[in-house]
Chains A and B, each alone.
Chain A
Amino acid sequence: MFTEAKRVVRFVFQYFSANLQSAMEYRGAFLSQVVFMFLNNLMLLFFWWVLFTQIESLNGWSFEHVMLLYAVASGAYACQALLFGGSFSLSRAVAEGRLDFYLALPKPVLLHVLISRSSASAWGDLAFSLVIFALTTAPSPGQLLGFLILILAGGVVTTSFAVLAHSLSFWLGHSEQLAGQLTEALLTFSLYPEGIFSATTRLVLYTAIPAGFVSYLPVRILKDFGLAHVGMLLVFALGLAVAARLVFYRGLRRYESGNLVVINALD
């Protein structure tokens, strides 16, 4: 089992490395995307800066909390986009019958689809996440490691949610727009403090649209460390990943080949 896990990790890192080298081939374009994405995220904080010049606190959330929220959410998104970039276009692959390429190879289909793509601009999200975290907390190496674990767990949640949303294509056919809106909703809610939402909305944000596990709970862990919260986050991330895998493979039984002759690299 250990050998198998090692093989999977090596497989993931080989794809990750190949995707990175591919992005770095056009170094100028790569760097401009990273820099622009960093600036793009920085500007998102502007609204909160203006708001916190007018108010002192937002139901217990300060500007520092909001900065941490952005660090965690953009970090989680970066983990998804860098490691599991295929999750963004899964429904198109399903609806257009483009999974044939992955089905023919002796590797786990879902994992293979997910890691086959990586977004170069997400390096900008990761840089933003780390810089904002460093500015907010001046972390020790241990805290930095903890932060990386939290954003990775958040990335697993966003990826699993995306797999669930995109797997609807197995039953609904073309449902890219619906999947896109669901994943957009998760990202959008992750970027607003939970303090503004009513109890009912929070219930939804810790269940159906799990923004709570992407950013709210990690921020709480960073501000007030508790093993119970860490356990909750890890169990939820793992549970959602298992559920996503289950739904994807259940849907895969309904998959019909598109009989397409395509160059996969251009997908």
Chain B
Amino acid sequence: MQLVSGGAWRKYFKVAEISFTNRIVYLADHFASSIFLILILFIFSQLWKTVLGPSEEIAGLNSTAMLWYMLFTEMIALSTPRTHQLVSEDVKSGDLAYKLVRPCSYILYYFAVYGGEFIIRAVTNLTVGSAFAHLAGGPLAVDWSKLGWVLLGFVLAAAVNFLVCFCVALLAFWLEETRPFFWILNKMTFIFGGLLVPVEAYPEGLRRISYLLPLRYSFSAPARLVVNFDYSLLRQMLAGQLIWAVLLASLAALMFRKGVRRVHVHGG
């Protein structure tokens, strides 16, 4: 992995900008893709109304807060571009050979592509989803003075999520096909990421495991922060996100260094 310093960042911003611009062209397509988000929110609005009624709570959240919580976890999940799948395709198709000779870091290049696409997807999902959640569950009381912290949490959540996916994607250097691992990661996200219900509702043992894993810091923690802002949660979340970002970035760099030496490029 190349070291990046000073003006070198500019090219990655440019890559992110190109990725963003590319996705803007398909804006209508992104809005159409949000139909699945509406479907899920519709089902869960009915589920939480049935389970919680007007006054009951799970993990301190009532039916309206649960719906908004789910909107934010799903927004992150559905806005995550499938950039990581490109690694497997690069190895299989032989494109990797062309990417490696470019004067930029392979990992940071894909992080920039991911960032550009994530923003456009997140905005469309949030627009469509919040309109639906408002109609189906009622408004969310937001403390706008905390918006900066919330945004920081989401940016770090997206970064940690990218690094988790990319570490799994780098297994392609050894195995070529990584889809089965993504199925499992996807379902682990359901559980330890608290995609459908906050991890605080879990039994003690599982809650502790989810606190230790990175998935909670990518999904459950930032979503919970929006619907129920709390400074102790903010501190805990930021600490978890920063620790995992450093650990996973180091792991990705190590995997890339080891993997790229043994990869066999086909085709091209």
List chain A positions with a Cβ less than 8 A from chain B. Answer: 29, 32-33, 36-37, 39-40, 43-44, 46-47, 50-51, 53-55, 58-59, 177, 181, 184-185, 188-189, 192, 195-198, 201
Contact = CB atoms under 8 A, between A and B. Distances in A.
29 contacts: A29-B177, A32-B180, A33-B180, A36-B183, A36-B184, A39-B183, A39-B184, A39-B187, A44-B187, A44-B190, A47-B190, A47-B196, A50-B197, A50-B201, A50-B203, A53-B203, A54-B51, A54-B201, A55-B51, A58-B51, A177-B29, A177-B32, A177-B33, A184-B39, A188-B40, A196-B43, A196-B47, A196-B51, A201-B46
Contact of A184 (B36, B50, B191, B203): B36
Given A55-B51, A184-B36, A196-B47, A43 B187 contact: yes
Interface of B: 29, 32-33, 35-36, 39-40, 43, 46-47, 50-51, 58, 177, 180, 183-184, 186-188, 190-191, 196-197, 201-203
B202 A50 contact: yes
B47 A192 contact: yes
Given A50-B203, A177-B33, 13 more contacts: A36-B180, A36-B184, A43-B187, A43-B188, A47-B196, A54-B51, A54-B58, A177-B29, A188-B40, A192-B47, A195-B50, A197-B46, A198-B46
B36 A181 contact: yes
Contacts, number: 63
B113 to A, nearest CB: 22
A126 B37 CA distance: 27
A51 B51 contact: yes
A188 B203 CA distance: 26
A155 to B, nearest CB: 22
Nearest to B40: A188
Contacts of B39: 184-185, 188
Contacts of B188: 43
A181 B43 contact: no
A44 B188 CA distance: 10
Contacts of B184: 36, 39-40, 43
B12 to A, nearest CB: 31
Given A46-B191, A47-B197, A50-B201, A196 B50 contact: yes
Contacts of B46: 196-198, 201
A53 B51 CA distance: 12
A40 B32 CA distance: 27
Contact of A189 (B43, B191, B196): B43
A53 B58 CA distance: 11
A29 B177 CA distance: 9
Given A47-B197, A53-B203, A54-B201, A188 B43 contact: yes
A37 B35 CA distance: 25
A50 B195 CA distance: 13
Contacts of A36: 180, 183-184
A36 B183 CA distance: 7
